[in-house]
Amino acid sequence: MVAALVAGAPVPAGFDARLVGVARAALLRKRAGEVARHWPLLAAGTPWPATFAGWADGRPTRGSLRDGWDLARDLAATGRLPATAAEELAVREAAWRYDGDQAPRPRRFPTVRRAGRAVVVQLAGRVWVLRAPDG
């Protein structure tokens, strides 16, 4: 039953598929809210409920921080990540190491990331965002 609710598995015999679908949609909305707390610019820059539900449906959660990170990377890979969310992702990737499998860990060495017209620099545990002037 749990796999049917969170991982897209078939509904077990004896359960109402419509009600399981309603519960699955409610759990996806809850997950979307949790991810939005960790990734506010990602959530604000996209049609959030539909974007998240389309990505997360059928995927078990790996925690809201990692779910948002994986979604942001997927959107970036397909050219659909908004500029503000790209900057948010660059800040995370400058400060933390995340390989997509293990939990994120703080970076220990200086790091530079680009996000559109911004450059994100991490040095000695501090992160700075340097933006090109408008004009």
pLDDT (tens digit per residue) in 62-73: 999 999 999 999
What pLDDT was estimated at residue 92? 96
In whole angstroms, give the CA distance from residue 18 to residue 65: 30
At residue 84, the pLDDT reads: 92
**Backbone φ and ψ of 16, nearest 5°:** -75, 115
Q: What pLDDT, in 10s, does the model give residues 71-81?
A: 999 999 999 99
- Strand residues in 1-115 grouped as ranges (E): 96-97, 105-106, 111-115
Measure CA 53 to chain center.
12
**pLDDT per position as a tens digit, 1-43:** 777 777 677 888 888 888 888 888 888 999 999 999 999 999 9
